Structure 1
Amino acid sequence: MTQDFATFATNLAFDDLPEDMIKLLRRSFLDTLGVAAIGSQTEMSHIARRGALALFGAGTAGGSRVLMDGRSLSPAGAAMAGAFMIDSIDAHDGTTPNKGHAGSAIFPALLAVADSLRQNGRQITGQDFAIWLALAYEISYRAGQVQHATCPDYHTSGAWTAVGVAAVVARMIGCDAEQIRHAAGIGEYHGPRSQMMRCIDFPTMLRDGVGWGAPSGVTAAYLAREGFTGAPALTCDSKEAAPFWDDLGIRWLTLEHTHYKLYPCCRWAHSSIDGAQKLMTDNALHHSDIAKIEIRTFHYATRLAGYEPKTLDEFSYSIAFPVAAMIARGKIGPDELTPETLNDANILRISRATTLIDDDDMTARSIEKRWAAVTLETLDGRRFEGPPMTPRGDVDQPASDQEISEKFHLFADSILGGIRANRLENLCNHFDLLDAPEFAEFLDLILSAPTT
């Protein structure tokens, strides 16, 4: 028999987790910390931390250190600052059917609450944290699928991660199943129903809504513990939601739908980036050879215009410019997330020569995949047509452990230093085996400010 989400959230034990789920959580931990490290240096992250420090002082819940910062706020404030930090670099894990991301809200929220509990004397082990992560991912994924199936607007990840964060933080702070139901309802009701396509069409620091989804979920849990009511959460407890929950505990959507990004920009551009890279390599082309680019892709992706991005936000939600960067430089990493790159004449020339084609067939197929096909035309008239592709990093084209490790070090080493980065990687790779003192050391490494 299956169980409702509140019973599942109350009773899940470490031994209930599939081994593949534990492996996924280890990968997501490492991947997310790398993104947090480079994200800690962005203007968006600095602004969010200044705002959080101005407004979210520690209260009776106890202090929580801000991710990669070390300064103390309330759990909600630390969750907000950490979520904006991760979201400022569009390279964190995601789920294609939900058109969004869970880890960018879950990790900062759960780390903030765990730190507050630990500073209040709670002994937390790696097994405890693995249970909480697994619950938050799975509940968020399922709530998100319900929302996309039942709501006319395309809402950001903050809308449905608020539900998962609320339910799991409620468990963390000792709520029973009924209080967990109310926490999910409060998180769903007060979570940010922000419209994602607004930020696609007008890219700003609003991003994917997790900067408010994470603290909304944290706040909801503490309210529910005090007796605030909010059930039912329609994404969890309604008649329309039931089909999305009837195999809970038997099937893990997190295992089926979690992908990892190999480039720090919107996932919708990745198949085009991969396609362009393959054509350049297979045909020994140089960027100076390229005269024109055509990209056939699904409708939402064609709204990632960004031919001449002026900010990191515009870069993150563009397609022509990242593809041109791959053609011109053969890579998209930290060096491409700079003001100098936005003014690179070689990249701008190619970006301006790009045509996006809204392809009805690819739009119809781009539900659980993101399809694109790239054609390159050279100055001497040659034409190279690539096949339709989906991005690497999906479950059927997984990023290897080595690729996740290399990405982490590419993002983290220059910020954290090699010794700290290596120690974090080692601990991520077996965090679920850490006892309470070892997990406390792990938290210290994650939450303290960079010293390089």
Structure 2
Amino acid sequence: MQQVVDFIHDLKFEALPERVVWQAVACLFDLTGVAVAGHTTRLGKIMERFVCEQFPGEVPLLFSARTASACGAALFGGMLIDSVDAHDGQVLTKGHVGVAILPALLAAAHGRELDGREFLTTLVMGYEIATRAGIALHATAADYHTSGAWNGIGVAAVVARLHKLDRQQTQEALGAAEFYGPRSQMMRCIDHPTMVKDGSGWGALAGISSALLAGAGFTGAPAVTLAAAEVAPIWNDLGQRWYILEQYFKAYPVCRWAQPAVEAVRQLRPRLGADLGQIREIHIHTFHEGTRLHTVQPGTTEQAQYSLPFSVAAALMDDTIRPQAIAETEQGLYHPARQSLSARVICHEEARYNALFPAERWAHARIILNNGEELVSEPAIARGNPENPLVQAELEDKFDTLTQGLLPDDIGRRLKQRVRELPAMDAGALSEYIALLSTSVTGSSRTQA
């Protein structure tokens, strides 16, 4: 446990490999694009109003003109990013890290003077602690819990570092964050998709609250997922194995479990031509958890994001999945062609793919045409993993797509330019960059119909 606490407080920018620094920059950039897009959701609007009423304060909210307390800002940011399922993740945690870490980092940094190097170092540290906490909790708990159950531990570590808690207070913060982290049932959200999503907003709230309480003398230790003997191997390589390098970036704003199937049908799309009416049935063979994304004709964006059939239908129509496809509009998820194609998808559980999950997620597709012809894809995985990464141009295109029409014309351009300057930013420049992250979204497209 002492090794973990020392890592939280003693990690220096100079100890970070160059690849780790630039991966942190990429994670930050990707998360900001998703946060902007979150303002198009009803969930985002509800949470913005909620935290301003119930958690008043002076901390700016992500891409909003409004403010809340540090706890409110962390809760809002986690829920906002989680509202559009396009943020980074890690396969062994079966969940998401940055969605909670970034909002809490921004909230904890408010009113404190730090430069770009310290900002990035703290971000990396949060990823390393939270990822290991997620792996450890999955290894020791019988339930399949949401990301909020463990990413709050990384949040507590971030706040403990920036608020300069002592070693004992940090242990208390980590223990309280683990204890209060929402052990919410992930498969309940998969089977019945609603705005509860992946629990990350509440994980962020639990983490930042626990650290603030620990600073006031609240006790909460021990954190068993950090200190128990059976999980020691997960923590022994802190500062040697960099889990931030093992994050994936999503190509599409839908559940990662659906994305291998998306790539499988995209293989077959050139053979279909423009006439999708010739499709009689779409058979998807994938791992068990993917088949649980079973909503056929979604009525909300949450259902669309957690629907493998709808994701496949959207990809067949557009050869991609744009944020507009999951919007609650007539041209989005209510489009008759998307709904019709989605109804033709039949999912099959494949034992060989089950054996590879969660480290690997696979699917293949069989499309049967009205004339009886059968088209079969090769097995496919999602794009954006460390072994098949999205290149910089793809990440920038994703950012542009997510933020189109939502930011003042020059802000998106400045965000893209300035993010790569973070390692060289002094405190003043970092403050200006963080201020860009509270630029209010614009345009009538802010909230879905």
- Is the 8 Å Cα contact of residues 295 and 309 (structure 2) preserved in structure 1? yes
Residue pairs, 1:26-175, within 5 angstroms: 26-58=25-57, 63-115=58-110, 118=111, 122-175=112-165
Residue pairs, 1:197-276, within 5 angstroms: 197-255=187-245, 257-276=246-265
Give the letter aligned to residue 436 of structure 1.
A
d(CA) in 2 for partners of 1:46 and 1:451?
A: 13
Q: CA deviation at 1:177?
A: 2.1
Aligned length: 441
Alignment of 1:429 with 2:420, yes or no, is yes
Moved more, 183-192 or 285-294: 285-294
- Is the 8 Å Cα contact of residues 275 and 374 (structure 1) preserved in structure 2? yes
Secondary structure of the 1:447 match is coil
Unaligned runs of 5+ in 2: 444-449
- Alignment partner, residue 189 of structure 1: 179
- Is the 8 Å Cα contact of residues 24 and 244 (structure 2) preserved in structure 1? no
Q: CA deviation at 1:432?
A: 2.2
Secondary structure of the 1:384 match is strand
Q: CA deviation at 1:145?
A: 0.3
Moved more, 82-91 or 423-432: 423-432
- Is the 8 Å Cα contact of residues 191 and 217 (structure 1) preserved in structure 2? yes
Give the letter aligned to residue 450 of structure 1.
V
Alignment deviations for residues 338-371 of structure 1 (CA, whole Å, 9 cap, x no partner): 2212222222222111110011111111221111
Question: What is the TM-score when the length of structure 2 is the normalising length?
Answer: 0.96
- Is the 8 Å Cα contact of residues 3 and 249 (structure 1) preserved in structure 2? no
Moved more, 382-391 or 326-335: 326-335
- Is the 8 Å Cα contact of residues 291 and 350 (structure 1) preserved in structure 2? no
Alignment of 1:342 with 2:333, yes or no, is yes
Give the letter aligned to residue 94 of structure 2.
K
Moved more, 371-380 or 99-108: 371-380
- Is the 8 Å Cα contact of residues 305 and 326 (structure 2) preserved in structure 1? no
Alignment deviations for residues 293-316 of structure 1 (CA, whole Å, 9 cap, x no partner): 100000011010111000001001
d(CA) in 2 for partners of 1:57 and 1:155?
A: 30
Moved more, 349-358 or 141-150: 349-358
- Alignment partner, residue 290 of structure 2: 301
- Alignment partner, residue 320 of structure 1: 309
Moved more, 132-141 or 169-178: 169-178
Question: What is the TM-score when the length of structure 1 is the normalising length?
Answer: 0.95
Give the letter aligned to residue 420 of structure 1.
I
Q: CA deviation at 1:285?
A: 5.9
Q: CA deviation at 1:178?
A: 2.0
- Is the 8 Å Cα contact of residues 105 and 161 (structure 1) preserved in structure 2? yes
Residue pairs, 1:367-386, within 5 angstroms: 367-386=358-377
Q: CA deviation at 1:282?
A: 5.2
d(CA) in 2 for partners of 1:109 and 1:348?
A: 38
Secondary structure of the 1:291 match is strand
Q: CA deviation at 1:413?
A: 3.0
Match of 1:450 among 441, 444, 449: 441
- Alignment partner, residue 446 of structure 2: none
- Is the 8 Å Cα contact of residues 167 and 181 (structure 1) preserved in structure 2? no
Alignment of 1:310 with 2:309, yes or no, is no
Give the letter aligned to residue 264 of structure 1.
P
Secondary structure of the 2:404 match is helix
Secondary structure of the 2:114 match is coil
Q: CA RMSD in A?
A: 1.4
Alignment deviations for residues 181-218 of structure 1 (CA, whole Å, 9 cap, x no partner): 11110100011111111100111000000110011111
Q: CA deviation at 1:283?
A: 5.6
Give the letter aligned to residue 323 of structure 2.
P
- Is the 8 Å Cα contact of residues 104 and 158 (structure 2) preserved in structure 1? no
Give the letter aligned to residue 300 of structure 1.
E
Secondary structure of the 1:200 match is helix
Q: CA deviation at 1:41?
A: 2.1
d(CA) in 1 for partners of 2:173 and 2:22?
A: 29
Aligned identity (percent) is 38
Alignment deviations for residues 362-405 of structure 1 (CA, whole Å, 9 cap, x no partner): 11112211111111112222111112111110111101110000
Secondary structure of the 1:281 match is helix
- Is the 8 Å Cα contact of residues 101 and 158 (structure 2) preserved in structure 1? no
